[in-house]
Amino acid sequence: MKQKILITGGAGFIGSHLADELISQGYEVRALDSLSEQVHGKDCVRPAYLHDEVELQLGDVRDPKAVERALEGVDAVYHFAAMVGVGQSMYQIKDYTDVNNLGTAVLLEALIKKPVKKLVVASSMSIYGEGWYKNAAGELVTVPERRIEQLKEGQWELSDEQGQVLQPVPTDESKTPCLSSVYALSKYDQERLCLMVGRAYNIPTVAMRFFNVYGTRQALSNPYTGVLAIFASRLLNNNAPMIFEDGNQQRDFVHVRDVALACRLALEKEEANGQVFNVGSGNNYTISEIAARLAMVMDKTELQPQITGKYRVGDIRHCYADISLAKEKLGFYPQVDFNSGLEELAAWLEGQIAYDRVNEASEELATRGLTV
């Protein structure tokens, strides 16, 4: 008998790709999604990309009745429903806390009444704040948040007490979280709530800390989504990508199909239960490099990135993944190399319409004093 899987937020970017992965492996999939306007537009209709076999239930994860209905006959749950975006979270505090924290609490109370065989929750690399660094002696060090005075002077890198610049290195799951934004705090809350309640009620639970996920189906008109989607929206409208700081900040970009693969493995591997995993590519790129490579595959190289030299409150300098634990426990090895992933993204973008709201979002942050 096929297992039935519920994905909250299952009509979205990552959720829909996970649905494809699960269906290809013989699972039945139900999605609970509110089809929020910021992600899906004003029409509030089933996305054309959503697999025909997905049973879509329209509802809000904060609504106990909608959640209870979605859990009927379900064997396992992926909790992906969330508001996403560091910058926006710093002024839409109630909305982010309501959807991310309260929504998770509502789901967990429903799961206490109707336990499932496995719960997998989407967490985020944002909970780390800054990643791991090494000092001149080669020792791992945890760094504090950068001082506003330092950032105003354009001193972007982190240094030790002697003024020597620290070297960023891959970050593993042992690093203590440093929560630099409302979004990061809410994702950590989701992660810990699920693991805590899962342990208390004997519901095997796994938390997946996603790094910078990219690929087809991203919400191109949402100025607070992933950086590659934001750059794509700019380029599609013949506008240059806007980059904060000096563009040399480093991130790990992982293809959405690889994320879907890791999440399926987390469902199927008992040794994953009760653990937290980084989900990344294990590689790192600067933001400037990402902008240039995307412009190249989109044939928009004349649109040189605008380096703003500004800092956005809640942003961190360097963080990229050590995925050794996911390799060991899940057997997860990324399948999509970055060049192939970018080419696939560029081909998909040719048929897309994007509303470039980056200037609008930037003005919103500036008026609130959230850029320096």
Tokens 């809000």 -> residue:
60
Tell me what pLDDT residue 144 has.
Answer: 87
In the predicted model, what is the mean pLDDT of the chain? 94
Which pLDDT band holds residue 91 (cuts at 50, 70, 90)? very high
Which pLDDT band holds residue 352 (cuts at 50, 70, 90)? confident
- Is residue 359 scored above 80 in pLDDT? no
Length of the chain, in residues: 372
Contact 211/278 with Cβ under 8 angstroms?
Answer: yes
Rounded Cα distance, 128 and 214, in Å: 20
In angstroms, what CA-CA distances link 161 with 131, 301, 318? 18, 41, 19
Tell me what pLDDT residue 186 has.
Answer: 97
- Is residue 356 scored above 80 in pLDDT? no
Tell me what pLDDT residue 244 has.
Answer: 94
User: pLDDT per residue over 127-138, tens digit each?
Assistant: 999 999 999 999
Provide the residue type at 117 as one letter: K
Rounded Cα distance, 33 and 260, in Å: 18
Region of 314 on the Ramachandran plot (φ > 0 left; ψ -120 to 50 alpha; else beta): left
Which pLDDT band holds residue 364 (cuts at 50, 70, 90)? confident
User: pLDDT per residue over 240-290, tens digit each?
Assistant: 999 999 999 999 999 999 999 999 999 999 999 999 999 999 999 999 999
C-alpha torsion sign, points 74, 190, 285, 330: negative
Contact 130/316 with Cβ under 8 angstroms?
Answer: yes
In angstroms, what CA-CA distances link 186 with 32, 90, 94, 263, 318? 20, 11, 11, 20, 21
Rounded Cα distance, 329 and 207, in Å: 13
Bridge partner list, 57:
32
Tell me what pLDDT residue 224 has.
Answer: 73
Tell me what pLDDT residue 366 has.
Answer: 78
Which pLDDT band holds residue 372 (cuts at 50, 70, 90)? confident
Tell me what pLDDT residue 340 has.
Answer: 96
Task: Domains for the chain: give ranges and CATH numbers.
Answer: 4-367 (3.40.50.720)
Cβ-Cβ contacts under 8 Å for 181 (sequence gap 6 or more): 86, 89, 90, 126, 313, 314
Which pLDDT band holds residue 181 (cuts at 50, 70, 90)? very high
Tell me what pLDDT residue 163 has.
Answer: 85
Question: What is the mean predicted confidence (pLDDT) over 211-238?
Answer: 89
DSSP code of 145? P
Q: Give me 232's structure tokens.
A: 């794509």
Rounded Cα distance, 23 and 35, in Å: 21
Crossing angle (nearest 10°) for helices 227-236 and 338-349: 40
Cβ-Cβ contacts under 8 Å for 255 (sequence gap 6 or more): 213, 214, 215, 281, 334, 335, 336, 338, 341
Cβ-Cβ contacts under 8 Å for 273 (sequence gap 6 or more): 118, 204, 205, 206
Q: Do the bridges between strand 76-79 and strand 4-8 make them parallel or antiparallel, or are there none, so unpaired? A: parallel
Tell me what pLDDT residue 323 has.
Answer: 98
Which pLDDT band holds residue 26 (cuts at 50, 70, 90)? very high
CA–CA–CA angle 105, 42, 39 (5° rounding)? 50
> Higher model confidence: residue 328 or residue 150?
328
Question: What is the mean predicted confidence (pLDDT) over 64-84?
Answer: 97
Residues above pLDDT 90, as percent of the chain: 81
* Among the ranges given (86-90, 198-202, 244-248), the one the predictor scored with the smallest mean pLDDT: 86-90
Provide the residue type at 332 as one letter: F
Question: What is the mean predicted confidence (pLDDT) over 83-92?
Answer: 91
Tokens 């390799």 -> residue:
327
Select from 334, 201, 202, 365 the least CA-distant residue to 257.
334
* Among the ranges given (83-92, 216-225, 290-299), the one the predictor scored with the smallest mean pLDDT: 216-225
Q: Do the bridges between strand 306-307 and strand 4-8 make them parallel or antiparallel, or are there none, so unpaired? A: unpaired
Tell me what pLDDT residue 287 has.
Answer: 97
Contact 50/16 with Cβ under 8 angstroms?
Answer: yes
Residues above pLDDT 70, as percent of the chain: 99
Rounded Cα distance, 95 and 186, in Å: 11
Q: Give me 48's structure tokens.
A: 């054309």
Rounded Cα distance, 257 and 338, in Å: 12
Cβ-Cβ contacts under 8 Å for 169 (sequence gap 6 or more): 131, 132, 133, 134, 140
- Is residue 61 scored above 80 in pLDDT? yes
Report the SS3 class of residue 354: coil
Contact 252/321 with Cβ under 8 angstroms?
Answer: yes
